[in-house]
Amino acid sequence: MRIAEASTSSASKRQSQYANTRRMPGGTFRMGSGNHYPEEAPVHRVTVDGFWMKPHAPPDVIRGPV
């Protein structure tokens, strides 16, 4: 495979990887709870990067395990 073919192939794989997905923006939010289970405490700030996510649950999540 030539270099030009390899870069085109890589670009196609990247595009298909994100097909039918939505970009979720990153941000900072408060995570945890002081009012429920002990493992959820303490409330603290968390920062996450943006990520790609499919807009619908996969069929096995909707239907349950087979």
Q: How far apart are CA 16 and CA 8, in angstroms?
A: 12
- The residues near 30 (Cβ < 8 Å, ≥ 6 apart) are 43, 44, 45, 46
Chain segment 2-20, per-residue pLDDT in tens: 555 555 566 666 667 778 8
DSSP character for 18? T
The neighbouring-strand residues paired with 29 are 46
User: What is the reported pTM?
Assistant: 0.49
Chain segment 22-56, per-residue pLDDT in tens: 999 999 999 999 898 999 999 999 999 999 988 87
The neighbouring-strand residues paired with 22 are 53
